[in-house]
Each structure stands twice: as C-alpha cells, then as structure tokens.
Structure 1
C-alpha cells in the first residue's frame, strides 16, 4: 500500500509542477502593480481556505471531501488561462492558495519542493507589494494561515 501511496504522491507532484510552471509564467508576465494586487488576493485566499474544515479541498464541492486532493488547483489553473484578466488573476490566487495548503506539512517528500516553490512565489509577491515583512510574518504565524 505504501508503494501505491508514493506513486500517487509522485504523480500529483508532477502534475502540480507542470501547472506551477505555467502559473509562474503567467505571474512573470503581469505588471508590477498587478502582481502586488495578486499578492494581496493570494494571501486573502489562503486565509479563507484556512478557515475551512479541509483547507486543501478549498474550492472543491462538499460531496467530494474524501478525495486525496480537491478540484481547487484544477479550477484555479483553468481560470488562470482565461482571456479575462480579472478571472485569470483570481484563478492564480486560487491555485496558489490550494497548492499552499495541499503541500503544507506533506509527509511525502515528492511534494515538498512544490511547497517551497509556492512559498518563494508568495514571498516575491509580498516583496513587490511593499508590505512590511513584519506584518506578513505576523499574518503567517496567526491562525489565518494555519
């Protein structure tokens, strides 16, 4: 059973990595002001997801709550490809929030690099927004990002 679990985790890590590359390209194509706005949106989405019973299933229908991962990253990824800039921005924020919670504290070593990449992007977005590091650090330690 452990072999099957590892294979599923490796497959999921590969899928997240593929999606992350596209999300990162979308973020780098954004102007600085839009990236700053995206940073605020992503932190808000992370906070909203953390208030859910299962944060990694944020954006997933309630009847699918017993799946290993939800539809949030897929929905966010599809929205990020939209021609509508506002929909794309919200899709990126959703993808970052769900990927953050899905990979946070993961026991699978194959998912840990994805978590570090998501943290790096969130840190870059925070730095662009010009928000003081102390307030973001306090927010990350609070229950909002738990």
Structure 2
C-alpha cells in the first residue's frame, strides 16, 4: 500500500509542478501594480481556506470531501488561463491558496520542494505589494503631490 501511496504522491507532485510553472509564468508577466493586488488576493484566499475544515480541499464540492486532493487547483488553473484578467487573477490566487495548503504539511518528500517554491512566490508577491506601498507613500511625501 505504501508503494501505491508514494506513486500517487509522486504523480500529484508532477502535476502541481507542471501547473506551477505556468502559474509562475503568468505571474511574471503581470505588471508590478497587478502583482501587488494578486498578493493581497492570494493571502485572502489562503486565510479563507485555513478557516475551512479541510483547507487543502478549498474550492471543492462538499460531497467530494474524501478524495486524496480537491479540485481547487484544477479550477484555479483553468481560471488562470482565462482571457478575462479579473478571472485569471482570481484563478491564480485560488491555485496558490489550495496548493499552499495541500503542500504545507505533506509527509511526502516530493511535495516539499513545491511548498518552498510557493513560499518564494508568495514572498515575492508580498514584497511587490510593499514596494508599491512604499513608492506611493514616497510620492505623497514629495512635492509632486502638492
């Protein structure tokens, strides 16, 4: 049974890695202002997911509660591919939140690199938001605002 569990975890890690590469490309193509907004959205989604009974199943229908992983990453990934920028941002935020909770305390060694990558991206989004706030505050203090 342990072999099957390891194979399932390895397959899931590969799937998350493929999706992560595309999500990371999408984030990289966003302007700094939108990236800071995405950081706020992602943190909000992570907070909402953490209030659920099973945070890694956030975005999944309640009747599918007993599956190894939920549909949140698939839904978020599909939305991230949307031509509508707002839908795409919300999809990326959902994907980041669900993937964060799914990989957070995973006992599988193959999931730990994904979690570190997610933390790096979330930190970059947070820092982009801080830079945007600092630039706005600096502009307000300068003579240009007067």
Q: Does 1:75 align with 2:75?
A: yes
Residue 139 of structure 1 aligns with which residue? Answer: none
1:25 positional shift:
0.2
Measure, in 2, the Cα distance between the counterparts of 1:63 and 1:16.
23
Any idea what the Cα deviations from partners look like across 1:92-142, whole Å, max 9, x if unmatched?
Answer: 0000000000000100000000000000000000000007xxxxxxxxxxx
Other structure's SS at 2:68 match: coil
Other structure's SS at 1:86 match: helix
TM-score, normalised to structure 1, is 0.89
* 5+ residue gaps, structure 2: 132-146
Note the aligned Cα RMSD (angstroms): 0.7
Residue 141 of structure 2 aligns with which residue? Answer: none
Any idea what the Cα deviations from partners look like across 1:27-63, whole Å, max 9, x if unmatched?
Answer: 0000000000000000000000000000000000000
Residue 48 of structure 1 aligns with which residue? Answer: 48
| Stretches of 4+ aligned residues off by more than 2 angstroms | none
Q: Does 1:33 align with 2:44?
A: no
Q: Which structure has the greater CA radius of gyration?
A: 2
1:85 positional shift:
0.1
Map of 1:87-106 to 2, 5 A cutoff? 87-106=87-106
* 5+ residue gaps, structure 1: 132-146
